[in-house]
Amino acid sequence: MSLKIPAIVVNFKTYPESSGKEALALAKICEQVAHETGSVIMVAPPLSDLALVASSVDIPVYAQHVDDVRSGNTTGHVTMENIRASGASGTLLNHSERRIKVAEIHDLIGNARALHMATIVCTNNPGVSVACAAMGPDAVAVEPPELIGGDISVTTANPGIVSDTVRAIRAVRPDVAVLCGAGVKGRADVQKAIELGSSGVLLASGVVKAKDKRAVLMDLASGLR
Amino acid sequence: MSLKIPAIVVNFKTYPESSGKEALALAKICEQVAHETGSVIMVAPPLSDLALVASSVDIPVYAQHVDDVRSGNTTGHVTMENIRASGASGTLLNHSERRIKVAEIHDLIGNARALHMATIVCTNNPGVSVACAAMGPDAVAVEPPELIGGDISVTTANPGIVSDTVRAIRAVRPDVAVLCGAGVKGRADVQKAIELGSSGVLLASGVVKAKDKRAVLMDLASGLR
Amino acid sequence: MSLKIPAIVVNFKTYPESSGKEALALAKICEQVAHETGSVIMVAPPLSDLALVASSVDIPVYAQHVDDVRSGNTTGHVTMENIRASGASGTLLNHSERRIKVAEIHDLIGNARALHMATIVCTNNPGVSVACAAMGPDAVAVEPPELIGGDISVTTANPGIVSDTVRAIRAVRPDVAVLCGAGVKGRADVQKAIELGSSGVLLASGVVKAKDKRAVLMDLASGLR
Amino acid sequence: MSLKIPAIVVNFKTYPESSGKEALALAKICEQVAHETGSVIMVAPPLSDLALVASSVDIPVYAQHVDDVRSGNTTGHVTMENIRASGASGTLLNHSERRIKVAEIHDLIGNARALHMATIVCTNNPGVSVACAAMGPDAVAVEPPELIGGDISVTTANPGIVSDTVRAIRAVRPDVAVLCGAGVKGRADVQKAIELGSSGVLLASGVVKAKDKRAVLMDLASGLR
């Protein structure tokens, strides 16, 4: 399944506010906003809630991580085949909270392509972004780790990291989309992300910790238009 | 939730035959056999199917693994809080295909107890079994790695490893149950496991790869009586 | 080679003040103090300096860590055979800055014994200490991670963790020595450690960062008498 | 220190035949052949023998691996500062037997450059090679894992992997040298490696396991001319 862009990717992380029943509830809100606004909103629930969420909503559901092992004698892992069987459309890889090896990224991208699953590789700077783009994922999502979970959007605090990543990747792999993230909170951040040449944003606490999740999602979605 | 024994624990691993829709179907068969026979049958589906299975069956559902991190900024991990929110009753820890650190086992056992979740720590020999029992999990499941997935049950190939583990653990922690596994296939293996002093078996391929899964489960359950 | 006790174990960690030429210089000071005072002082230099230090001093030299792999096709690892060939007498295992898996600890202890090398397993509390002692190393060194590198000795801040560990281990494995560490600075700390039933101390910054390393070592050694 | 090419890099791995005293003996033979033939021969001894070897020979000595942590409270690791203090000129990174994370490679390359140490990043195919070259190491060494330790040289079994890697890297990072390895045994293999556009070879068992190590090294060195 190919990646739809421009997009807002909501990473539920493992927050209590977005686990179990709350994961399902938040995914339903995301689905509703996506349908009302016509925007692409993708959700990445906790791994243990993946199948439950994917079987309940009609928007793209992504895994937060996949292990570089195959289905079989691999107890306690999450395989690409598993997440496909669970109904996911693709996966994040190499999130700053779950970095993986370079040969694993390469292998997982190939494995995902063979199974028609999309891959979004998270990176921390333009240098790593170009390295990961060279391996041909659907997208690279650049996020300065020091801004993740913070109050200031990467598009305000460090717009150069986004534009540098876009420029560097376009020069070598124009087929790879660029997303950006860290500190994204609302409409202005999304608009700026698009202006800087990216194809959307990846965010977590800005939605998950919000009192009125629906209102935040409506605001974010308005930035894509 | 405390561990119910004697028990048959079915580890789905990440096999295609027990992932996604097949995970749900197999869990339903296990539930039916448990109810018909009055036996304790517990299931450990792929992590990505955990919430889906736990919300669909009325038998204990266990995670195959939990990471030693807390819910929050821990993308791509599976936390104890996550599996509890997903409806699981407990978790396997330290399976031979997903070994973890000794301080992690200790920390996870404490974390599980605080959340009223049960823990079954997998081990490979009597020495490691006693070490893990000393940390006070609900059960230790001893499985010689070289027999896992094979055709000969541990109870036939190496009964001494089971009786030695039972004896050694009873001497220091009689409150910790002992399970055994590797190569378990049918009624005679379960009976022998009980005779050797264990409180049940842990198995995977014997059920997952069986043509008639229900028949195998009925046969195994008959060994518990 | 069996562990000599009571002992002072100086962990050089990877500090610049105890790497390369400085590792050799500090090891020489330790040797001199050991010989002058008749005390057992053991040194654990950076892994890359192990053979250089072991071939230059006549006191026990320990590795800070060994990987659970065998010599051969294992580039970039440090094997038990490697450290023996380098002249070491044994190794620390499972230091709080380099935790390893429980099955690895068991395997490494067996491997060390076969090669006549001593093992000191580091732990973080009495529960983990008993678990590790059950696997039969030469010693367990309990160190509360939150006190490591700090200004207050474990023997002052938390003497109960030492006495509890000593009591618990004596009950099940009286053949395993207990060391303690974290914040150890001088004579009084060593004396208190011995009073609490331990067989010595493990320390790092107290020696490595000292202006007059020889004076600190003389003071520590006086606490062993 | 910049990488000297064309070069023969001898990886001692952790073989008994190249550990401890044998590490020193083999490094001396490499030094002698390098001086007699005027060829660049670099050695990567076991980590525990690094300082001993680096202080004893006058040819470039490389670490087999460096951890992505800084010198200080990092017991049991090998830091870039450690290997520099031990007298090494640089390090291999990401060997197939010790793969590391992509962000670690990026960080270590930057750290090495700041300390004037050279980096050779090992890779398994052209895709991963380009990704790693994009991060600007001194060299990439491509080695198909299935041929490592075997009897047929990569230059015979799969010359395309070498020429494809050379072409792909030259297109994006012509400043990054390409080495190749796996199954390299003698003069013809080195000559072919150079013909294919690489700047030399990386090998282990071909030298370490040879009865007459000096003769093999003389033969290999003759291929560089």
Q: Give the gap in angstroms from C-alpha A15 to the nearest C-alpha of chain D.
A: 25
Helix, strand, coil shares, percent, chain A, to 5: 45, 15, 40
Instruction: Show the domain range for D21.
Output: 7-222
- How many Å apart are CA B145 and CA B135, to the nearest integer? 22
Q: For position C10, what pLDDT does the model report?
A: 98
pLDDT, average across residues B34-46: 97
Q: In angstroms, what is the C-alpha Rg of chain A?
A: 16
The confidence band for B149, taking pLDDT boundaries of 50, 70 and 90, is confident
Q: For position B20, what pLDDT does the model report?
A: 96
pLDDT, average across residues C29-39: 97
Pairing outcome for strands C7-11 and D139-142: unpaired
Q: For position D145, what pLDDT does the model report?
A: 84
Contact C96, D76 (CB under 8 A): no
Cα–Cα distances (Å) from D192 to D40, D126, D156, in that order, read 17, 18, 8
Report the residue count for chain B: 225
Contact A22, A48 (CB under 8 A): no
* Mean pLDDT, all residues of chain B: 95
Cβ separation B100–C99 shorter than 8 A: no
Cβ separation A19–B52 shorter than 8 A: no
B154 domain-assigned: yes
pLDDT, average across residues B195-208: 95
What are the pLDDT digits (tens) for C185-224? 999 999 999 999 999 999 999 999 999 999 999 999 999 9
Q: For position B40, what pLDDT does the model report?
A: 96
Are C and D touching by the rule of 3+ CB pairs within 8 Å? yes
D2 domain-assigned: no
B1 domain-assigned: no
Residue of chain A minimizing CA distance to D169? A134
Q: Residue C87 — left, alpha, or beta (φ > 0 → left; ψ -120 to 50 → alpha)?
A: left
Active-site residue (options: D22, D97, D104, D143): D143
Tokens 């230091």 -> residue: C95
- How many Å apart are CA A109 and CA C83, to the nearest integer? 39
Residues of A in contact with D130 (CB under 8 A): 134
Cβ separation C95–D82 shorter than 8 A: no
Find chains touching chain A: ≥3 CB pairs under 8 Å. B, D
The confidence band for A16, taking pLDDT boundaries of 50, 70 and 90, is very high
Tokens 């030298």 -> residue: D207
The token pair that represents C102 in the structure block = 């429980």
The token pair that represents D114 in the structure block = 């700041």
Q: DSSP letters of B16-81?
A: GGGSTHHHHHHHHHHHHHHHHHT-EEEEE--GGGHHHHHTT-SS-BEES---SS-SSS-TT---HH
D47 domain-assigned: yes
Report the residue count for chain C: 225
Residues of D in contact with C74 (CB under 8 A): 13-14, 97
Q: How many CB atoms lie under 10 A from the CB of residue B187?
A: 16
Q: Tell me the residue type at D41.
A: I
What residues of C are annotated to the active site? 95, 143
Q: For position D137, what pLDDT does the model report?
A: 97
Q: Is residue C34 scored above 60 in pLDDT?
A: yes
| Residue D95 is among the residues annotated as catalytic for this protein | yes
The token pair that represents A55 in the structure block = 């079987």
Contact C143, C123 (CB under 8 A): yes
Q: Is residue A195 scored above 90 in pLDDT?
A: yes
Q: Is residue A147 scored above 90 in pLDDT?
A: no
The token pair that represents B155 in the structure block = 């109870």
pLDDT, average across residues B51-71: 97
- The torsion angles phi and psi of D93, rounded to 5 degrees, stand at -135, 145
Q: Calculate what percentage of chain B has a pLDDT beyond 70.
A: 100
The confidence band for A1, taking pLDDT boundaries of 50, 70 and 90, is low
Q: For position D1, what pLDDT does the model report?
A: 57
pLDDT, average across residues A38-48: 97
Question: First-to-last CA distance in chain D?
Answer: 24
C189 domain-assigned: yes
Please list the alpha-helical segments (H only) found in A3-122: 21-37, 50-54, 80-85, 102-114
The token pair that represents C108 in the structure block = 């490494």
Instruction: With a threshold of 0.85, tell me whether the complex ipTM lies above it.
Output: yes
Q: Give the gap in angstroms from C-alpha D81 to the nearest C-alpha of chain C.
A: 7
Q: For position A9, what pLDDT does the model report?
A: 97
Q: Is residue B104 scored above 60 in pLDDT?
A: yes
C52 domain-assigned: yes
The pTM score is: 0.91
Q: How many CB atoms lie under 10 A from the CB of residue A35?
A: 12
Q: For position D207, what pLDDT does the model report?
A: 96
The confidence band for C179, taking pLDDT boundaries of 50, 70 and 90, is very high
Cα–Cα distances (Å) from B149 to A133, B139, B144, B154, B178, in that order, read 39, 21, 11, 11, 20
What are the pLDDT digits (tens) for D129-166? 999 999 999 999 999 888 888 888 888 989 999 999 99
Q: For position D189, what pLDDT does the model report?
A: 93
A1 domain-assigned: no
Contact A92, A122 (CB under 8 A): yes
Q: Indicate the DSSP class of residue C94.
A: S
Which of C102, C135, C169 should one mutate to test binding to chain B, selecting the residue with the greatest count of B CBs within 10 A?
C102
pLDDT along chain D (225 residues), means of 10: 88 97 98 97 98 97 97 97 98 96 95 97 94 96 86 89 94 94 91 94 95 97 91
The confidence band for B1, taking pLDDT boundaries of 50, 70 and 90, is low
Cβ separation D127–A104 shorter than 8 A: no
Q: DSSP letters of C47-85?
A: GGGHHHHHTT-SS-BEES---SS-SSS-TT---HHHHHH
Q: For position A145, what pLDDT does the model report?
A: 84
Work out how many domains chain A is built from and give that number.
1
Residues of D in contact with A128 (CB under 8 A): 102-103, 106, 135
The confidence band for C1, taking pLDDT boundaries of 50, 70 and 90, is low
Q: Indicate the DSSP class of residue D59.
A: S
- How many Å apart are CA B137 and CA C70, to the nearest integer? 31
Q: Calculate what percentage of chain A has a pLDDT beyond 70.
A: 100
- Sheet of D177-181: strands edge to edge? D40-44, D7-11, D200-203, D177-181, D139-142, D118-123, D90-93, D62-63
| CB nearest D19 (choices: C71, C73, C75) | C71
Residues of D in contact with A94 (CB under 8 A): 101-103
| CB nearest C127 (choices: B100, B101, B135) | B135
| Residue A143 is among the residues annotated as catalytic for this protein | yes
Residue B114's domain is classified under what CATH number?
3.20.20.70
Cβ separation C75–D23 shorter than 8 A: no
Cβ separation B19–A46 shorter than 8 A: no
Residues of D with CB under 8 A from a CB of A: 94, 96, 99-106, 123-125, 127-128, 130-132, 134-136, 172
D1 domain-assigned: no
- How many Å apart are CA A159 and CA A164, to the nearest integer? 9
Residue of chain C minimizing CA distance to B134? C131
- The torsion angles phi and psi of B91, rounded to 5 degrees, stand at -155, 150
